[in-house]
Structure 1
Amino acid sequence: MNFQKIESFDQQLDLMNILSQRFSTRAYQVDIEGSFPYENIQDLKDTGYTALTVPKKYGGREISLYEMLHFQEKIAEGDGATALSIGWHMGIIKNLTEKNSWNERIFKKICEEVKNGSLINSAATEPRTGSPTRGGKPETTALKTGANWTVNGRKTFTTMAPVLDYFIVSATIKDTNRVGNFLIPRSSEGIVIEETWDSIALRGTGSHDLILQDVTVPEENFVEQIGIDGKKPSGWLLHIPACYLGIAKAAKKHAIEFSLEYAPNSIEGSIINLPNVRQKIGEMELKLMESEYFLHSVAKQWDDSDEHARGKMGPILGAAKLTVTNNAIAVVDLAMRVVGARSLSMKNPLQRYYRDVRAGLHNPPMDDMTIQVLANHAIMDIQKS
């Protein structure tokens, strides 16, 4: 089956559920080895999923944010690393469609290649600047040389590095204060991937270092200048909490299945009937409900809003990410309390879920920044009234 040929959203979800179950069977091996889920990414490409956010004017489906987040959650139920990885690609294409900030000819070319299976991600984080959301200026540089640009630098956390066809690289333009994004094909000379990813969380994302050594690209590959516009609210980043929500759902499912089956001889029946176990399951369900309604309603609001209204959604987007991610951590913790010491076995998926959801605290926007934004928002509301 192919996502591109299925009209019904529910049928598309059914197909993603099949893929998610397949990803789940591979997750343990990828995690243990710290390898990359090549088969999962290929499955997503073969079924047409990776092209679903391509705009309609270029022959794509241009799915809504609401739909994309549901698909991303389902992927994460099978394998969080696969979900977070492909989420960047899906979201970037969606974001570029909404912003309409690139030269149309170049974006059309990228979309045509995406429809044929090409993958793209940004490379913005650097060793000395940390997360780009903190405002650090890239040490990666771009120098105009005739009709070309020459780019040099090192980027960290380049997710999906083993399979990316294009990198969107942020760089400071030499001898100026300007910062821009450069579209760099993987085939460019001077591209080196250094396999540095050794995280205990989301081990399968292949978030290695990208090294650029005198990489030359045409003038038109300076695709956009980064400035005030780069700080506008970005709905597509909700793919991040969607990933952790999916992992939390998988943790709840595992805890319930365990509780239905585990029957120690000290009690009658299984532990599912114990009040303390049911209490924890109820708490998990409550947190997941809170997360689902918050995340999905914000996504719907984004889909239904115009550019002006979206420009005011920064606080609620940050709040959704903070709430869903922290709820996911709490849900996995509760699931582990239900299962007990068995949850710490390397063969038990809960310990992987526990490691993976912690990574959400380090994805943008960070909690401290969100709280400051919310404080400013609340104060301004009172001052205006």
Structure 2
Amino acid sequence: MIDPLRLNQGNQRLAGWLETAAALAKGFAARAAQHDHDRSFPLENFAELHAAGFHLLSIPTEYGGWGATLHEAVQVVEQLAQGDGPTALVYDMHVHVLGALAESRPWPEEHFAAVCAELVERGGWINSCATEPELGSPSRGGLPKTRAVWDGDGWRITGQKSFTSGSPILTHMLIPAVIEDGTAGTVGVFLVRADRPGLRIEDTWDVMGMRTTASNDLLLENVPVAHADLVLRRVPDAPDPGRFSGGAWFGLTVSGVYLGIAEAARDEAIRFAQERRPTALNGQAIATLPPIQQLTGALEAELLTARALLYAVTSGWTEQPAQRPSLSPYVGLCKAIATSHAVKAADLALRVVGGQSMSRALPLERLFRDVRAGLFHPPTEEFAYTNLGKTLLEV
């Protein structure tokens, strides 16, 4: 079946990345059910991603990476998610953090160059660990409870972070903490390496969907950090230099992840409909039934409309940098549409298959659980629609 959104794809490097991603996804899919059952982290998937060089995807070319644009990165994570959503989501944390930093360059350049060099030369994975049990999502505002204190030689960080996706493999973490230096409300972002003393992971991730992301709690107990690893300092009411890029790279790439999961559900539903031949149909597949055809068409409509919007906004973001502030409300819309349509598409896939979709013998029940997690990433649907409405109403 053709993909109407990629008919004019002239990007040869992206085509090569997608071909490799599709091959990797097949291996991920073969292991996904067992990892989900065991609640085990898919270490082998990340070894394969690293061996294929995919840790370099959004690192700038001048620092030894592949320099993927946002438009390209969205399609790569979408392809990987068709094999295993949790793997793609953890991978995306690394991709969107580095992509946003490469685009906005909010750090001193020598610090960004240094961390890129570490990741290129030694390998490794990075994530931003901002959410806290009491703070909730940092997208809602508020100050972290995590604190950083200067001890004369460096910083000491104490606090707790939640949703630390990919915790078994992270080598670098970005930790927001309130700086206790007498200036109220100043938040620093610290680059913390995973081998620092006082840093530990607590196995708290036991959930319905995305069971294998190992999004555990991160505990920091007087963790020593060098002065140079304070990579960003935000004072109250000052503009955030990485705001637009950070929101876009997160919201749009995570949209690709959840659409990829729903596409896997679509493919499984189609396979089942073509192969299922109940005796009542005298050897004909259920794919010949008009109700099955209608459900399948409705499923694809959900995916195509969401993907069309996503690709349009990521293409505009990539090709028209001056328009990025104006595109910001549409980033939230993309995320809301992508995740809600992905959930609807997965639900329709279950309806195509019927009662057997609930069996663990098929991947659909796992895909349905995984895809629902997309609804809870920021921005939520109500926030995205309100923000777009305020923009249109100029209020």
- TM-score, normalising length from structure 1? 0.95
Is the 1:28–1:347 contact (alpha carbons within 8 Å) kept by the matching residues of 2?
no
Aligned-partner Cα distance in 2 for 1:151–1:20: 38
For the residues of structure 1 that align with 2:131 and 2:278, how far apart are their CA atoms?
Answer: 50
Question: Who is 1:218 aligned against?
Answer: 226
Aligned to 2:188: 180
Cα deviations across residues 135-159 of structure 1 (Å, max 9, x unaligned)? 1210000011213111000000000
Q: Aligned-residue CA RMSD in angstroms?
A: 1.4
* 2:362 partner amino acid: N
Residue 113 (structure 2) aligns with: 108
Find the counterpart in structure 2 of residue 75 from structure 1: 80
Candidates 273, 276, 286, aligned match of 1:262: 276
Map 1:328-347 onto structure 2 (within 5 A). Answer: 328-347=342-361
Specify which of 189, 204, 213 is matched with residue 205 of structure 1.
213
Change (3 A) 1:288 1:355: same
Alignment of 1:311 onto 2:308: no
Alignment of 1:184-333 (within 5 A): 184-226=192-234, 227-229=238-240, 231-232=243-244, 234-237=247-250, 238-268=252-282, 269-306=284-321, 308-333=322-347
**2:365 aligned with 1:351:** yes
- State the partner residue of 2:8: none
Cα distance in structure 2, aligned partners of 1:7 and 1:252: 27
**CA distances 1:293-315 after superposition (whole Å, capped 9, x unpaired):** 11111110110122x42122221
CA displacement at 1:21 relative to structure 2: 0.5
Q: Quote the Cα distance in structure 2 between the aligned partners of 1:245 and 1:232.
A: 22
Mapping of 1:30-69 within 5 angstroms?
30-69=35-74
- Partner letter of residue 211 of structure 2? R
CA deviations over 1:158-212 (Å, ceiling 9, x no partner): 0001110011001111243101111101111100100100111111111000000
Q: Does 1:368 align with 2:382?
A: yes
What are the Cα deviations for residues 120-142 of structure 1, in whole angstroms up to 9, with x where unaligned?
A: 00110001110000112100000
Q: TM-score, normalised by structure 2?
A: 0.92
- 1:170 equivalent among 145, 170, 176: 176
**What SS does the aligned partner of 1:210 have?**
strand
Q: Is 1:158–1:210's contact at 8 Å kept on the other side of the alignment?
A: yes
Letter paired with 2:353:
V
CA shift in 2, pair 1:379/1:34, >3 Å: same
CA distance in structure 1 between the partners assigned to 2:123 and 2:208 by the alignment: 29
Aligned-partner Cα distance in 2 for 1:374–1:54: 31
Residue pair 1:192, 1:211 contacting (<8 A) in 2 also? yes
Quote how far apart the aligned CAs of 1:97 are: 0.7
Please list the CA deviations of residues 231-275 of structure 1 after superposition, one character each: whole Å capped at 9, or x if unmatched: 435321111110010001000100010000111111130100100
- Looking at structure 1, the residues matched to 163 and 176 of structure 2 have their Cα atoms a distance apart, in angstroms, of 13
Q: Distance in 2 between matches of 1:303 and 1:118?
A: 26
For the 8 Å contact 1:84–1:239, the answer to whether it is kept is no
| Counterpart amino acid of residue 241 in structure 1 | S
Q: Report the alpha carbon displacement of residue 288 of structure 1 after superposing the two structures with TM.
A: 1.1
Q: Give the structure 1 partner of residue 25 of structure 2.
A: 20
Q: Which residues of structure 2 form unaligned runs of 5+?
A: 1-10
TM-superposed CA distance for 1:7, in Å, is: 6.2
1:254 partner SS: helix
Q: Which amino acid aligns with 2:291?
A: N
Q: How far did 1:82 drift?
A: 0.3
Distance 2:28 2:153 in 1: 45
Q: Describe the SS at the equivalent of 2:278.
A: coil
Distance 1:272 1:30 in 2: 31
* Distance in 1 separating the partners of 2:174 and 2:64: 23
Alpha-carbon shift at residue 339 of structure 1 (Å): 0.6
Equivalent pairs counted in the alignment come to 375
The amino acid across from 1:208 in the alignment is: N
